[in-house]
Structure 1
Amino acid sequence: MRRLRHLLPVLVISVLALPAAAAEQPFEVWLADFQARAQAEGIEAATLGRAFAGVQPIPRIIELDRRQPEFVLSFWRYLGNAVTPERIAQGQALLREHEVLLTQVERTYGVQARFLVAFWGLETNYGATFGSFPVIGALSTLAWDGRRRAFFEAQLLDALRILQAGDIDPARMEGSWAGAMGHLQFIPSTFTGHAIDGDGDGRRDIWGSLPDVFASAANYLSTLGWNGEETWGREVLLPDDFDYDLVSIATLPETVKSLTDWTALGVRSADGTALPRADVSGGLILPAGAEGPAFLVYENYRHILSWNRSILYAVAIGHLADRLIGLPEMRSQPPADQRRLAVEEVKEIQQRLADLGFDVGEPDGRVGPQTRNAIRDFQSSAGLPADAFASPALLEELRRRSQG
């Protein structure tokens, strides 16, 4: 699911006398029960009446929630879709157009303007694609459906609080199929925790007020601990004899060293020059494996992951932010053959690794840390670069070994 983001460390869910699953309960029965619990949480009857007028389950929402991917999204395809020449040019123009506002927000919250615009570009293509689903209807459908009821009931309750505060009218409260809203696709709990009235009109309007949008995003990142004096990371070059066991394979980098230590290991900037002499630590990631680009990523990279826990997303945000201020494209370029792995092929990799005695857990077609650890163990045992990367070449190697 694409839009389960901005998830705060603790979601306080006080409506937890949960009813039966949707399959066992008509929507109207669940809704009446939820409304009673919402009133007990301080939501007024008038707010409930406005919010739920005519609300019914939306079949398309269930369809999208159940959708299963056919392919594993590759780094190069993701980056090519996210950081386009058009998006770079438009973002640069918007940086100039809103320079005064963005400078003021940066001074207040310590979040660089280029990153705010990069988030804006990736989330909604600078406001072009908010999503067209009614947020109350979408969240009601997902909460009633029951697969992740506690989460979506909590989001629905926060959405009602937003309406009750007068920040937005129900008719304008549109968003993604999973309830992400406005220019920067906040889910309701992120809105209630971090949205700011940046223009002083008494409402926090992340749909129509750019002062509110930028202040809210900057406040959220600042609360996470964003460092306005540092960047997100940088592309680097690795020496031929590099120890790939030092590459982080979890979403949050698990191996962190100072730039001085990385320099001593032979890591250099992408242009071949020495790494900066700065008191900064970072982890090393290879989102496209040993044949793709390598990145040293710093603390702000971790904060991007708090917005959306995806390595591909975090690198795309950082790279777009760099390009917006004129930094060059990546030194590494996509290979001529960008064949993606099908989910069934990932399952085959997992099963073949399991057959060889490597612990992948239950083969499920997802390349998580357990699978990456198993791949790394296999690569090390086979004398291959231990980049822990699932690729067509790895699948062919596993097939070859099983035939031998």
Structure 2
Amino acid sequence: MSLRSEALSRGVSAETFDLTFANVTLIPRVLELDRRQPEFVQTFWRYLDARVTPARIERGRRLLAENASLLEAVHQRYGVQPRFIVAFWGMESSFGDDTGNFPLAASLATLAYDARRANFFRDQLLTLLHLIDRGDISPDAQGSWAGAFGQTQFMPSTFKAYAVDFDGDGHPNLWTSLPDIFASSANYLASIGWDGSSTWGREVALPYDFPYALSGIETEKPMSEWAQLGVVNIDGSPLPTSTLSASLILPGGVNSGPALLVYRNFRKIMNWNNSLLYAVSVGHLADRIAGGDPFATLRYDDGSPMSRQQVEEMQSLLLLRGLDTGGVDGLVGAKTREAVKRFQEQASLPADGYPTVALLDQLRSTQ
């Protein structure tokens, strides 16, 4: 079925479709950006330093204070702490400074006709047409190269499901209405299970003999069990007595970056953007905006990021060993990290699941 026929079958008017697509052309730059997202090519400290900056922290604190009454009203309605709403706002659009300058319809059309995630983006494009048809979004609206838009950078399906008209003007407006922006973020997080009585995680210190194979978002244990394994707060004090369960993650690997115990809310941040580095940055930015300290872990140079070609080679070599990476796409996702961890275990290395050029060299040498 053609896109136009499918749109009309879903209730989009012919006038809306034709108006929206009158000047749509495919955008090669969108495909270039899709192949090198920063979540996959930047090292931990470089990613964090580019996002949790002194200027962003200071501005976040000021905006938290300036919008205290509105943020508290949203907090009362949805149960999401104001510091997290402001942190998402800062991460997604630099507090509204950068909402994207790609034409939404053309960006989504480009990705819908690319084989990598065609079905997902075709559905997003059809949802965008529905939103245009009901008057929520302009046909010439702009956003990110991936089709996210507004100060929250919602995708069309997220907007349709969770955007809130908190200012009561008849339409959710994620470009200029702070009540709608804050409430939509909070509504989304609350709807997916955000725990307003808890935080996202904490920095910890590990014993010298910590079993690194237990690290990773896929392993979850009660706090008491992590304590029994010798995990303590970063200042050396005991972990709090708590009924919370947590995962131990090493976003920069064993040799660079902090060790973090992360809770249920961390997983909800990953629902927003399925990236460990993104989720750590949101959580840490929220802490810093609220007056928290920088990570205490000593910083080491985490080297140069792996190129896409190097990641593809690593995935191929892991697959030859019977370790499932989820394919050869040059992207370091959960399956690739798990395959790396299994190889590290086989090679008697600290099994942190963190891919490096040195690990790739070892894979080459053992073929």
TM superposition score normalised by structure 1: 0.83
* Corresponding residue of 2:262: 297
Question: Do the aligned partners of 2:198 and 2:265 also contact (CA within 8 Å) in 1?
Answer: yes
- Aligned counterpart, 1:246: 214
Is it true that 1:140 corresponds to 2:140 in the alignment? no
Structure 2 residue ranges without an equivalent (≥5) = none
Cα gap change, 1:295/1:103 in structure 2, threshold over 3 Å: closer, same or farther? Answer: same
Contact 2:252 2:302 in 1 (8 A): no
Q: Does 1:42 align with 2:5?
A: no
The number of equivalent residue pairs is 364
Residue 170 of structure 1 and its aligned partner are, at CA, apart by 2.5
161 and 382 in structure 1: CA distance in 2 versus 1, 3 angstrom threshold: closer
In 2, the alpha carbon distance for the partners of 1:109 and 1:346 equals 41
- 1:267 aligns to what? 231
Q: TM-score, normalised by structure 2?
A: 0.91
The reply to whether residue 279 of structure 1 matches residue 243 of structure 2 is: yes
Is contact 1:285–1:297 with CA below 8 Å preserved after alignment? yes
Give the direction of change, closer, same or farther, for the CA distance of 1:374–1:62 in structure 2 (3 Å limit): closer
Shift of 1:102: 0.5
The answer as to 2:153 corresponding to 1:185 is yes
Cα distance in 1 for residues equivalent to 2:108 and 2:348: 50
SS of the equivalent of 1:283 reads: strand
Indicate the SS of the match to 2:251.
Answer: coil
Q: Is the 8 A contact 1:351 1:363 kept in 2?
A: yes
In the alignment, is the contact (CA less than 8 A) between 2:213 and 2:350 conserved in 1? no
* Cα deviations by residue, 1:263-313 (Å, 9 ceiling, x for unpaired): 111111111111111211111111111123111010001111110100110
Deviation at 1:364, TM superposition (A): 4.8
Aligned partners of 2:288, 2:205: CA distance in 1, in Å? Answer: 19
Q: Does 1:379 align with 2:347?
A: no
- Give yes or no for contact 1:76–1:338 (8 Å, CA) kept in 2: no
Shift of 1:159: 1.1
Post-superposition shift, 1:64?
Answer: 3.6
Distance, in Å, in 2 between the alignment partners of 1:77 and 1:36 is 46
Offset at residue 189 of structure 1 (A): 0.5
1:78 aligns with 2:75: no
Q: Is the 8 A contact 2:45 2:302 kept in 1?
A: no
Deviates more, 1:393-402 or 1:149-158: 393-402
Q: Give the secondary structure class of the aligned counterpart of 1:170.
A: coil
Distance apart, 1:257 and its partner CA: 1.1
Q: Among the aligned pairs, what percent are the same residue?
A: 49
Alpha-carbon separation, structure 2, partners of 1:150 and 1:273: 50
For the Cα contact (< 8 Å) 1:358–1:377, is it kept in 2? no
Report what 1:200 is aligned to.
Answer: 168
Amino acid at match of 2:161: G
Q: Distance in 2 between matches of 1:48 and 1:386?
A: 52
The CA distance in 2 between the partners of 1:131 and 1:371, in whole Å, is: 30
The one-letter amino acid paired with 1:223 is S
1:365-376 mapped onto 2 (5 Å cutoff): 365-376=330-341
User: Which residue is 1:9 aligned to?
Assistant: none
Distance 1:285 1:347, change over 3 A: same
Taking a change above 3 Å as real, the CA distance of residues 134 and 340 of structure 1, as seen in their structure-2 partners, is: closer
| Partner secondary structure for residue 41 of structure 2 | coil
1:168 deviates by 3.1
Structure 1: distance between partners of 2:330 and 2:102: 30
| Native 8 Å contact 2:142 2:149 kept in 1 | yes
Residues 302-326 of structure 1, C-alpha deviation per residue, up to 9 Å, x if partnerless? 1111101001101111010110101
Q: How does 1:356-371 map to 2 (within 5 A)?
A: 357=321, 359=323, 364-371=329-336
* Map of 1:346 onto structure 2: 311
The whole-number CA distance in structure 2 between the counterparts of 1:146 and 1:348 is 21
Shift of 1:139: 2.0
Which residue of 154, 165, 178 corresponds with 2:123?
154
Return the match for 1:332 from 297, 306, 319.
297
The code of the aligned residue for 1:82 comes to: R
Distance verdict in 2 for CA 1:152–1:350, change over 3 Å: closer
Contact 1:359–1:370 (CA<8 Å) still a contact in 2?
no
CA change 1:374–1:202 in 2 (3 A) is closer
The alpha carbon displacement at 1:260 in A equals 1.3
Structure 2: distance between partners of 1:164 and 1:185? 20
Is structure 2 residue 167 aligned with structure 1 residue 234? no
Deviations 1:43-73 (A, max 9, x none): 123323432333333343344445688x832
Q: CA RMSD in A?
A: 2.4
Q: Which residue type is aligned with residue 295 of structure 1?
A: L
**Distance of 1:131 and 1:144 partners within structure 2:** 21
- In structure 2, relative to structure 1, the CA distance for the partners of 1:39 and 1:118 (3 Å cut) is same
> Alpha carbons of 1:367 and 1:202: their partners in 2 closer, same or farther (altered >3 Å)?
closer
Q: Which runs of 5+ in 1 are unaligned?
A: 1-16, 18-32
